[in-house]
Structure formats: structure tokens, C-alpha cells
């Protein structure tokens, strides 16, 4: 049994215990990074392929006759053509729940930084403004408490539930959105349109699918409160980035925290990388990547491989 890990270095594994992973398959080849043009050659003869972000398209899958299992080393698997894999009898599995504490923490890092104007105050202190202040402090940027505000959650899996629990600890009201355009609402859910309109903070935790692409566009941003924040730690394509940039420039919403972009890395530029955009924090897709989360990820991959070898695959997505 041969296994190939295509982009192992994307986890920055130094300092993590990878011994169990390395011993999970008899013939296990690790590549730190794989270019698109090298994928077919590297997975030739492999029964198992592991990928974080390397794309496994239908064309590539068709050229891997020995392939039986693809493991997405992440919760999201939009870089894998799962339909093509299914048609070829290939099982696709992912890893789940490993990053929930890390991403939840990152969500509230965004919210707290934006509501407390941390970046603006920090920049002014570094620039010497506090030293020159007439008073003991200066309050040029309004600070808002989270208690009593409404948090809208789009995507109510493990992450959505974790974020909900933290929000309630801050004294926030929580609304859980149902699917966009649905009339028959599930128990405990609020219509997507109402959540967008009522939320003081709207946070996204849904996968990127054809149905969720541009889920938040110009229409939704106009429907949000002008005082609201948008937080996206899901996938870049869930938000129309040009529309968000425009909404921030025009003051249609108060701010945004974004950890994901539609193209990563954004070599061709991106509307959200404009340094003139107000009240926007962009981080480079790191919400998932605490050391503890990465260790949990590797440990779960070992479980996925062991289950497959025993004939009872887990975390199957196709």
C-alpha cells in the first residue's frame, strides 16, 4: 500500500509529533509542496493521496488508476472533484472538528479588535499620539460592547455551535440562519434574510458550494445594518469581494474581518487588499492553524487511514 502526501509543509509541521502519521502506511511518501504539473507523476501507483490545498481535478483523477482513497487534510474539500472520485470508485474523506477552538478564537479576535478599535489605537500609540495627549487618554475611535448585540451565524456545524457558545458568554443574542431562500424554516432557525438584516455581527461558517458562492453579495451587504460587522473564516468565494470592498468604502457596513480570499495566495491582487479600505482586517488563512489544531489534524488523519485499512472508512464525504 502506497500513500503520497502532496503538500505536507503547508501545516508547518516543525515541532509537531508526526511519528504516528509517518508510520500509518508502509510506503508513505511526503512532499512538502507539489506543483500542478507534478501531481500526476507523484501520485502514480499510489492507493492513497493526501492533500491540503493541491487540486485533484477530474482530469488528474482519471490518470490515477490505482487510487482508492483521497484524504483532504482539512474540513473543506472544494479542491477535490468528489463527483469524479465517486465515479471512479474512489473514497474521499476529510478531517473534522480539529480546528474548532482555533477558528472560534479567531472569529472573536476579529470581532473584539474591530469593536474595540484596537488597530487604530495601537497605531496611534506607536505614532506618539498618547505621549502628546492633553488628557490621560484620547477617545477618537468609538468603542462598543458585545453584550446585547446580535450575532448572526450562517452555517451551524461544530464551528457555528462553538461560536454561538462564546457569543452567549459575552451576553450576545444569537440568530441561526436557515438556507437562503427557504420558506419552511427549521426549528430554531431564522430566515437568512432576517438574520442578515438584524445582525450586528454576521459570521460565516458554511462550505463553499455552487449554492453558497457569492452568498454575501451587494444585495445582502446593502441589507445589513450600517453599524454591522461581517466576519468570514469560511471560504473566500462565499463573499463577493468586490461588493464587500465597495460596501466598506461607502460605509454600508462598519467593518469586516476576513481570513480567506477567493484565490490564495492572491498573486493577481484582490479588492480586499486595498490598504485604503477602512475597518478591514485581513489575515492569511491562518484561523485554523494553531499548533494544537495542527496536532489534532494529524492525529485524526491517522484515524482516517487506520479506518480505511480496516475496511470501515470514516469521515466519508462522497
Report, as residue numbers or ranges, the catalytic residues: 235, 264, 285
Q: Considering only CA atoms, which of 259, 266, 179, 252 is closest in space to residue 218?
A: 252
SS3 257: strand
Q: Considering only CA atoms, which of 124, 84, 109, 119 is closest in space to residue 163?
A: 109
Q: Hey, what's the cell of 290?
A: 494553531
> What is the SS3 assignment for 126-179?
HCCCCCCCCCCCCCCCCCCCCCCCEEEEECCCHHHHHHHHHHHHCCCEEEEECC
DSSP one-letter string for 42-100: HHTT-SEEEESS--B-HHHHHT-TT--EEEESSS--TTB-HHHHHHTT-EEE---STTH
Instruction: Name the pairing type of β-strands 27-30 and 173-176.
Output: unpaired
The C-alpha atoms of residue 238 and residue 223 are separated, in whole angstroms, by 17
Angstrom CA distances, 312 to 58, 303, 316, stand at 25, 11, 10
Q: Hey, what's the cell of 231?
A: 466576519
Q: Considering only CA atoms, which of 155, 269, 159, 161 is closest in space to residue 209?
A: 155
Q: Hey, what's the cell of 214?
A: 457569492
Amino acid at each position: 500500500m502506497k500513500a503520497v502526501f502532496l503538500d505536507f509543509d503547508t501545516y508547518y509541521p516543525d515541532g509537531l509529533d508526526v511519528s504516528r502519521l509517518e508510520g500509518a502506511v508502509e510506503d508513505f511518501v511526503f512532499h512538502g509542496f507539489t506543483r500542478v504539473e507534478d501531481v500526476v507523476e507523484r501520485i502514480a501507483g499510489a492507493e492513497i493521496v493526501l492533500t491540503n490545498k493541491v487540486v485533484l481535478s477530474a482530469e488528474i483523477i482519471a490518470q490515477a488508476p490505482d487510487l482508492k482513497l483521497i484524504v483532504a487534510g482539512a474540513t473543506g474539500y472544494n479542491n477535490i472533484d468528489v463527483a469524479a472520485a465517486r465515479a471512479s470508485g474512489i473514497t474521499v474523506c476529510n478531517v473534522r472538528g480539529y480546528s474548532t477552538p482555533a477558528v472560534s478564537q479567531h472569529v472573536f479576535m476579529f470581532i473584539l479588535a474591530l469593536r474595540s478599535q484596537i488597530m487604530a489605537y495601537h497605531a496611534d500609540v506607536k505614532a506618539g499620539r498618547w505621549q502628546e495627549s492633553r488628557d490621560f487618554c484620547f477617545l477618537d475611535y468609538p468603542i462598543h460592547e458585545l453584550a446585547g448585540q446580535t450575532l448572526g451565524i450562517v452555517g451551524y456545524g461544530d464551528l457555528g455551535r462553538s461560536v454561538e457558545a462564546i457569543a452567549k458568554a459575552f451576553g450576545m443574542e444569537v440568530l441561526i440562519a436557515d438556507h437562503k431562500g427557504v420558506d419552511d424554516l427549521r426549528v430554531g432557525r431564522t430566515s437568512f434574510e432576517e438574520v442578515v438584516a438584524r445582525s450586528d455581527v454576521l459570521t460565516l461558517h458554511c462550505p463553499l458550494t455552487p449554492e453558497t458562492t457569492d452568498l454575501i453579495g451587494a444585495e445582502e451587504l446593502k441589507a445589513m445594518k450600517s453599524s454591522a460587522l461581517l466576519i468570514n473564516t469560511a471560504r473566500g468565494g462565499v463573499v463577493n469581494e468586490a461588493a464587500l470592498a465597495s460596501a466598506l468604502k461607502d460605509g454600508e457596513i462598519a467593518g469586516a474581518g476576513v481570513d480567506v480570499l477567493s484565490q490564495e495566495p492572491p498573486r493577481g491582487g484582490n479588492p480586499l487588499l486595498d490598504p485604503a479600505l477602512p475597518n478591514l482586517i485581513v489575515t492569511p488563512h491562518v484561523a485554523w492553524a494553531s499548533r494544537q489544531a495542527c496536532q489534532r489534524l494529524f492525529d485524526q488523519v491517522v484515524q482516517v487511514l487506520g479506518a480505511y485499512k480496516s475496511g470501515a472508512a470514516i469521515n466519508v464525504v462522497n
